[in-house]
Amino acid sequence: MSGEPDALAVVNQLRDLAADPLNRRAIVEDQGCLSGLILFFDHPNPQVVYSALLAVRYLAECRSNREKMKGELGMMLSLQNIMQKGTSPGETKLLASEIYEILQTSSSTEAEQAEAAASCRKKAQFFLGSTNKRAKTVVLQIDGLDDSAQRSLCEEALLKIKGVISFTFQMAVKRCVVRIRSDLKAEALGTAIASTKVMKAQQVVKGEDGSEIVIPFQGDSDVVVEQNINLPDYLPEDESPSQEQHKAVTRLGSMQDGASWLSTAANFLSRSFYW
């Protein structure tokens, strides 16, 4: 248990770095980081798995990364395992499915390659041109999103909503870009943010002329927010990678290898980036 906070902290840091398009190629090229993320697809803590998937999803936004990611040992098989595993939460399966589809169709036309390369260069944008029609993107302007403490409150509120797939923050402009299931109303996000009592969200949309329009959510909205209350802290022991030596996890090594990668990743973070 003592290693648990370290695993989640390192994966979260790598996820946040991967959110910046300028870092994505360096992360994929660094020896050990990509294979380490794949190792954590089989981690017993669902939060670690989800955060690792988010990091990989960010990395896949960069077109030049996709062939290397697709060919990385265990990548596609691990994604399939997550999609097929009965204990995987719905949002986790959906995110794994999006990554799998992107990597599987990485050989595209020149036009598609140009579009993907353009999206890779745009900072602070997430899931541009997503191939999954079951999801949509909502941009929130959040009053009160001033520091890391408020960001943490916002993260906690969003993580409780059933149907939220992923989100990334643009702290400089007090915005949050949220990826949600297509059947989830944007108002549910506003209700969740308002529940913090210290922040208030408005939706940012594009007008017909391309300009941004900020639309406030109704203060008396009665939107019911369905929460993620049935997610286990840890997967059952019979789903533990240590007891499935015949499955894909054995190709990546033991959890000792995971501890070794944590050290590698921590050194990589400290020597390669400044934040």
Confirm if 179 and 166 have CB atoms less than 8 A apart: yes
Q: 87 and 150 in one domain? A: no
What pLDDT was estimated at residue 119? 55
Give the whole-angstrom CA distance, residue 3 versus residue 258.
10
The crossing angle, in degrees rounded to 10, of helices 46-59 and 4-18 is 20
- Whether 231 is covered by a domain: the verdict is no
Give domain status of residue 159, yes or no: yes
200 & 141 share domain: yes
**Selected residue with higher pLDDT from 126 and 268:** 268
How many Å apart are CA 109 and CA 128, to the nearest integer? 17
Average of pLDDT values for 212-228? 68
Q: In the predicted model, is pLDDT for residue 257 greater than 80?
A: no
Q: Which residue has the higher pLDDT, 252 or 185?
A: 185
Neighbours of 214 (CB within 10 A): 11
Residue 119: inside a domain, yes or no?
Answer: no
Same domain, 85 and 139: no
CA 134 to chain centre: 16
Instruction: Kindly state whether residue 89 falls inside one of the protein's structural domains.
Output: yes
Same domain, yes or no: 23 and 100:
yes
In this predicted structure, what is the pLDDT of residue 112? 56
Spatial distance between the Cα atoms of 67 and 82, rounded to a whole number of angstroms:
21
| Exposure string for 81-108, b = 16+ CB within 10 A, e = fewer | bbbeeeebbebbbbbbbbbbebbeebee
Of 77 and 32, more confident: 77
Domain shared by 91 and 11, yes or no: yes
**What pLDDT does 81 receive?**
92
What is d(CA 246, CA 204) in angstroms, rounded to the nearest whole number?
Answer: 48
- Could you tell me the two tokens for 113? 């390659």
Give Cα 238 distance to the centre of its chain: 26
Structure token digits, residue 61:
């936004």
Assign residue 184 the CATH number of its domain: 3.30.70.100
Give 47-103 pLDDT, tens digit per residue.
999 999 999 999 998 989 999 999 888 899 999 999 998 888 888 999 999 999 999
Residues 147 and 212 occupy one common structural domain: yes
Q: pLDDT band at residue 181, thresholds of 50, 70 and 90? A: confident
Q: Describe the crossing of helices 90-104 and 46-59 by its angle, rounded to 10 degrees.
A: 30
Mean per-residue pLDDT of the chain: 75
**Does 156 map to a domain?**
yes
Are both 84 and 140 inside the same structural domain? no
Residues 13 and 88 in one domain: yes
- CA 58 remoteness from chain centre: 7
The answer, yes or no, to whether residue 143 has pLDDT greater than 90, is: yes
pLDDT of residue 227: 61
pLDDT over threshold 70, residue 240: no
Q: Which residue, among 112, 134, 116, has the nearest Cα to 125 in the 3D structure?
A: 116
- Residue ending a domain, among 192, 216, 240, is 216
pLDDT higher than 60, residue 144:
yes
Domain hosting 149: range is 135-216
Q: Which residue has the higher pLDDT, 31 or 12?
A: 12
pTM of the model: 0.49
**How far, CA to CA in Å, does 255 sit from each of 88, 213, 220, 242, 260?**
20, 49, 50, 8, 8
User: Does the residue 268 lie in any domain?
Assistant: no
Select the more confidently predicted residue: 188 or 225: 188
For the chain, percent of residues with pLDDT exceeding 70: 68
195 and 153 part of one domain: yes
For residue 19, pLDDT beyond 60? yes
Residue ending a domain, choose from 216, 236, 263:
216
pLDDT > 90? residue 7: no
Residue 252 belongs to some domain of the structure: no
CA-closest candidate to residue 74, choices 195, 241, 229, 259: 241
The CATH number for 13's domain is 1.25.10.10
Q: In the listed set 107, 123, 146, which residue is the last one of a domain according to the structure?
A: 107
Q: Which pLDDT value is given to residue 89? A: 87
Structure tokens belonging to residue 250? 């054995």
Residues 140 and 81 both lie in one domain = no
More confident residue, 207 or 257: 207
Residue 246 CB neighbours (<10 A):
7
Indicate the number of domains in the chain.
2
**Closest alpha carbon to 268 in 75, 31, 48:** 31
Is 148 among the domain residues?
yes
Say if residue 82 is in the same domain as residue 139: no
